[in-house]
Amino acid sequence: DAKTTQPTSMDCAEGRAANLPCNHSTISGNEYVYWYRQIHSQGPQYIIHGLKNNETNEMASLIITEDRKSSTLILPHATLRDTAVYYCIVRAYTGNQFYFGTGTSLTVIP
């Protein structure tokens, strides 16, 4: 069962910040939130992950609400190459499995 819900699609102007929301209201205390993206017909690419605190790396920032029921992935300066499907994933508490949600198709517009 998908544990995340995301908007089906979003547009973002090139050079602007892209904010991609994700709801994970049934997340358990020790379950991590992961974000991946998939550019057409390629393998999913790891972006970032977090547990409770906000995280930032060279690709993006991850903001997790205090109650952990939702998160937002932020691409600070979107480029055309960021056009992709973005998946928010809650990693199972035990075991190694990822269950992908339906994802958000982000289109960056020139």
Partner 1 sequence: DTEVTQTPKHLVMGMTNKKSLKCEQHMGHRAMYWYKQKAKKPPELMFVYSYEKLSINESVPSRFSPECPNSSLLNLHLHALQPEDSALYLCASSQGSGTSRSTDTQYFGPGTRLTVL
The binding site for partner 1 (CB under 8 A) comprises: 30, 32, 34, 36, 41-46, 49, 51, 87, 91, 93-103
In the complex with partner 1, the residue whose CB is nearer, 53 or 110, is 53
Report the half-sphere exposure of 2 (CA within 13 A, side-chain side). Answer: 11
In the complex, the smallest distance separating the C-beta of residue 29 from partner 1, rounded to whole angstroms, is 10
Least distance (Å) from partner 1 to the CB of residue 58? 14
Pairing relationship of beta strands 84-91 and 61-64 according to DSSP bridges: unpaired
Minimum Å gap between C-beta 105 and partner 1 is: 9
Distances (CA, A) of 99 to 2, 25, 81, 107: 6, 15, 25, 24
